[in-house]
Structure 1
Amino acid sequence: MVSRIDYDRDMVQLHEDIQKSKETPIIRKDRIRKSNNNNTNSVHKETLEENIKNANTLHLDNDIYSVYWTDTIPDHIQESHPYIAIMTSNKPDHLDRLILNLLKNALVDPDRILVFNDGVDPVLPILEKYEMTANQLVQNSQTHTKVKGDQNQKDFYINQHYRFMFSFIFDRLHLENIIVLEDDLVLSSDSMGYFTLLSRLMKYDPSIFCVSAWNDNAYLWNSIPDEPLDHLRFSFKRQNHFGGLGFLINNRTYFNRIEPAWREEGANYKPWDTVVQNSMLPEDSCIYPSVPRSQHSPILSRNYKAITSKENEVDEWSFMQFYNPADFFVDGKYMKVYRMTMAPMLQPEYDFNLDRSIRASVEIDSLYAIGFLTTSPHSSFVFYHRVYSDKDKDWELVTKILSLVGIGNGGVVRTVYEGVIETSVLGKRLYIVGFYSKFVFEKHRATKAKMKLNDLIKLVDYGNAHFNEALTKSYLFMLENDHSLHVKVAEQSESCSTHCKTHNFSCKEPYQILLLNSGFVEYSFTSQKYCKTIKIAENSESELGNLPSLYSATQTCVLPNNPSKISCSYTPAKNENVTRKLCICNK
């Protein structure tokens, strides 16, 4: 990756060049690499370059290169943010929580909120409670019923509600852009700044379809420990998958993509987000954050305070990361204002940096080798996967091994960009590159050494055939050779964070993913005489963050049945079964 120091130095030089020439060479020619993909859309590239050429120097500099990001809760109403459309239907308590969250924590301008309701439960009293007017309530009279039919009928009514909202915003009000929120979301304190600043990029780069506040794979364990603060806070990515759960689109996206897609035969009977996804062209992409600025919270008790105070998780959604300024300190203080440049999110810059990162990564020939990566001095790896489109079902082979969320709306794999999924595993950065991607460089691959699973697996021999499964063996190799890792069992009603700290260790979320592997748990915890038997929980008995756990009475170790319920901080309640959390502690 291009370091911030290098990039800021480039920006200083570029600024000096601008002052001398009074021109705006925003995208440097040496950062535009020719693609080996014959389907590259030249219209987008030409439009982007034309936008840049015609842009006012000072205006563009303020818009993209000299952005000041307010990191803490602002001390005044954010009057300049785009209008907000809240979609609600028969969830008055959720609507109340969201509006309170927006006004108190994100400090939005209440006059820039529009509520689109197609339910029968009264909504106006909630708006009046927050001194909003009846003019800010838009009632969709065509679908305001409590639907009791099958899922297809529900999809139809939700579809029509979103179509009505989009048309109202862009055909009737003629707004430039809109932030769309569902009533059961919670937004971060910097969410309005996030949408406002990143929306500026859409004025110059027509390939940006939307800006999303959500990251489908931002589980607590899917992170890199001790990552530099500036990178973690302001790390934004692109994906060819439409990101929902809080998103911004502009009128160009609506008129050129979404509105024509809704006029196609059968579109009214598809899920609304499938219609939007299907409207995206191959060259379109959405920006999304590494750390989400929204969280889906269907349980009302999971509000902004509960999330930022790190109260116990209550459902699978609350095991996701959520941006909270209080998590980040600089010299013991919050960083209130941060100067940054958003130019790396413009397509040529983004592709250039992604290209460099992939080329600099060490290639592995199998994802079953991921346990061996932690003992490597390298921090970034790449795996080339035999898939041939964003909708190739064999993407699921990758997402299953890495415990990622896979195929999404419209059949497109989540977080994919130009055939590349960027993620992390056990604290290491990993790029999965499809064979169809323009970032496949055969000549480059031929000149670089590779980490080969067959060579690595010879280093491990546990005798028992049960442990010969490749992924298990790589995890056990990691445990035996990384002396900073220790398996522990917490005391009753004790979180892994507390237990590790008590024994002068720390609990780091990425390593808890090891506890999903039954072979790893059986070998490592039985050798410590903790577990006699291993059991995978059924859906009905899964106890959220209370798993993975040891049931003391039977010495049974029970593991979760999916990766969405792993947490260092979850504190189990006392119960009759006397369960104790299984933990991976780090020295």
Structure 2
Amino acid sequence: MRLWTIGIVTGALLLFAVQVFLFGGYTRELTSLTDQVSQSRDLHQQLRNALESNANLSRLFTRLNLQLGDILGDDSTGQEEHLERDTKAALRGSSQILGSSEAQISQSLAQPQQRKIYPSGNEAEACVGGAHNVKGVVAAVVTVAFNRPDYLQRHVASVLSVHGSDPANRRKFPLFISQDGSPVHEATQQQAQSYEEVSYLHHKELIKPVTKTDKLWDKIAYYRIANHYRWIFQTMFECFQYPRLIILEDDMELAPDFFPYFEALAPVLDQDDRLLCISSWNDHGQEQFVKDTRRLFRTDFFPGLGWMLRRQLWEQELRAGWPEAFWDDWLRDNRTRQGRHCIAPEVCRNYNFGKEGSSKGQYFYMFLAPTRLNDDAVPWPEMDLSYLQLPRFDEELEATLNAAPAADTVAEAQGWIGDVQLYYHTQEHFEALAKALGIMKEWRDGVPRAAYKGVVTIQFQDARIFIAPSPELRSSMQEGINHA
């Protein structure tokens, strides 16, 4: 009996020990599983937060992609600031996952100098503002305005649309409107000051200029324009300290690749002392005379109408001799150019829609209205522009001319396939050929419009026509230019 009792107790103890062992293991496993579930829930919540943050970021970038092309040109105000705030919020959410700091976010979203309305100024007075932060700036962009608010509205809509296609343009190409006039034209001033993306300048007149002759072409407006341009250069270069300046006028629309074009050519301008400017305009850029959207060329004729200048050239040379009037013709004078050239595109990067202005619409319907505005998305950062360098450009032009046969008549040249030359022997002969072809015949100081070494190049159907001086005339023209 006693043994039986002992056996029962021993068995019970063994059974209890087994249960403790088994359930202890279960308990440990259950505890571990509970911990894993808790960790999984934490991971799940972190993952959910991350996905939500990335989803917000994705939605934001989708909004940016859809709206960025139009946001700067929208009539409503403040949308860009809302996008900036949304971007910062999204990046803050992402920074919680990636471990980014608030300082890193602020640095990545650093903005260029904000738009400002400056006090009126004059070229004979002190600066209206001090040096700007020019880090990362390619060129300041100034639109010259006076009294055409409707033109200015159309122009700025185009500028902002193109400028806003790349957010980096806010840093690379700060925008300004400079208005002339005393008293100021109020409707134009109100229009100019209505843009949150564009700073405003006003050039005031201290002394009314006096014309030098009684000729009909000698208008006081041209003296005022020259004074205004002097003040713009002084303000942007000497006061604000921008490295380069792009000058626009209030009757221009821009091509989609306008800013990449100038960005790609800025180092070319800086590195070549034989260059005066970079221009977005071809005087023979009418639809029927152009073809290659990627072709650029050197020209002895200052094109104007959308052009970029370096600060060094202004401060070291142009400032001292700036004329009282007719500043553009002064830049076309060989004594001013000193053998330097401008680079221009075959297909224009701006379109001039202004038929009313100081020139009273001269040549508008015949030469300006038919101009082709580029719509080809040229990848300028990838383009090899070394062909523009000297002496390569000269050597290749010379080889092309030597290989091109000469046509006897305009009709023969127009029906040609490939390269062909039309020789002219005098200025009068050139003007006759230009009239027959339908291109501008104007010369300035021995240089035809858009000519390089006297050669004007146009496309006509299947022909590339070089309107070239005869060998004898070409030699005398170049000699005159070099000794100017």
TM-score (norm 2): 0.60
**Corresponding position of 1:296:** 352
- Which of 217, 228, 241 does residue 301 from structure 2 map onto? 241
1:240 Cα deviation (Å)? 0.6
Q: Which moved more, 1:185-194 or 1:98-107?
A: 98-107
Give the residue type in structure 2 aligned to 1:131: E
Distance 2:236 2:466 in 1: 38
Query: Is contact 1:261-1:275 (8 Å) kept?
Result: no
Query: Which residue is 1:166 aligned to?
Result: 233
Spell out the pairing of 1:79-94 with structure 2 (5 A cutoff): 80-94=137-151
Shift of 1:282: 4.8
Determine which of 249, 252, 276 is the counterpart of 2:331: 276
Moved over 4 A (4+): 73-80, 313-316, 334-338, 408-411
Cα distance change of structure 1 residues 399 and 222 upon mapping to structure 2, 3 Å threshold = same
Please state whether the residue corresponding to 1:105 is helix, strand or coil: helix
**Residue number in structure 2 paired with 1:142:** 205
Deviations 1:145-187 (A, max 9, x none): 9x9x975211111121112212222232232210000011111
Listed as ranges, the matches of 1:475-554 within 5 Å are none
Matches of 2:190 and 2:69, distance apart in 1: 28
What is the deviation of 1:131?
A: 1.3
2:196 maps to 131
Q: 1:439 to 1:193 in 2, by over 3 A?
A: farther
How many angstroms does 1:421 deviate by?
Answer: 1.3
Answering whether residue 192 of structure 2 is matched by residue 157 of structure 1, we say no
Match of 1:213 among 259, 280, 286: 280
1:417 aligns with 2:417: no
Counterpart contact for 1:89–1:117, Cα < 8 Å: yes
Q: Is the 8 A contact 1:103 1:109 kept in 2?
A: no
| Residue pair 2:283, 2:449 contacting (<8 A) in 1 also | yes
Hey, what does 1:380 align to over in structure 2? 419
Partner of 2:174: 112
Q: RMSD between aligned alpha carbons? A: 3.5
**2:383 aligned partner, one-letter code:** M
Asked whether the equivalents of residues 291 and 322 of structure 1 are also in contact (C-alpha less than 8 Å), the reply is yes
User: Deviations 1:513-548 (Å, cap 9, x if unpaired)?
Assistant: xxxxxxxxxxxxxxxxxxxxxxxxxxxxxxxxxxxx
| Residue aligned with 1:383, SS | strand
Residue type of the partner of 2:293?
Answer: R
Pick the aligned partner of 1:402 from 437, 450, 457. 437
Aligned residue pair count: 326
Determine whether 1:320 maps to 2:361: no
- The superposition leaves residues 406-451 of structure 1 with CA deviations (integer Å, 9 ceiling, x where unpaired) of 21555631011012111223430111222343699xxxxxxxxxxx
Larger Rg: 2
**Alpha-carbon contact 1:419-1:438 (below 8 Å) kept:** no
Q: Distance in 1 between matches of 2:303 and 2:244?
A: 16
Counterparts of 2:163 and 2:475, CA distance in 1: 39
Give distance in 1, aligned partners of 2:69 and 2:264.
15
Change in 2 beyond 3 A, CA 1:172/1:336? closer
- 1:579 equivalent in structure 2: none
Structure 2: distance between partners of 1:128 and 1:184: 17
Shift of 1:144: 10
On the 8 A contact 2:301/2:332 being kept in 1, the answer is yes
**One-letter code of the match for 1:277?**
R
Match of 1:342 in 2: 385
> Residues 235 and 315 from structure 1, CA distance in 2 versus in 1: closer, same or farther, beyond 3 angstroms?
same
Please name the residue that 2:185 is paired with: 121
Identify unmatched segments of 5+ residues in structure 1: 1-72, 225-231, 301-312, 326-333, 441-587
**Per-residue deviation at 1:75?**
10
SS in 1 for 2:219: helix
C-alpha deviation, 1:291, in angstroms:
0.6
Q: Kindly tell me: are residues 238 and 109 of structure 1, through their superposed partners in 2, closer, same or farther at Cα, counting changes over 3 Å? A: same
SS at match of 1:175: coil
- Counterpart CA distance in 2 for 1:75 and 1:152 is 40
Return closer, same or farther for 1:319/1:139 CA change in 2, 3 Å cut-off.
Answer: same
Q: Which stretch shifts more, 149-158 or 285-294?
A: 149-158
Residue matched to 1:537: none
Deviations 1:530-570 (A, max 9, x none): xxxxxxxxxxxxxxxxxxxxxxxxxxxxxxxxxxxxxxxxx
Q: Is the 1:106–1:188 Cα contact (8 Å) retained in structure 2?
A: no
Secondary structure in 2 aligned to 1:401? helix
The gaps in structure 2 that reach 5 residues or longer are: 1-67, 73-111, 113-135, 357-363, 478-484
Indicate if the aligned counterparts of 2:253 and 2:350 stay in contact, CA closer than 8 A.
yes
Give SS of 1:384's match: strand
Task: Find the counterpart in structure 2 of residue 357 from structure 1.
Answer: 400
Distance 1:364 1:336 in 2: 36
Residues 158, 118 of structure 1: alpha-carbon distance in 2 compared, 3 angstrom cutoff: same
2:484 paired with 1:428: no
Cα 1:410–1:168, aligned 2, differ >3 Å: closer, same or farther?
A: farther
More helix by share: 2
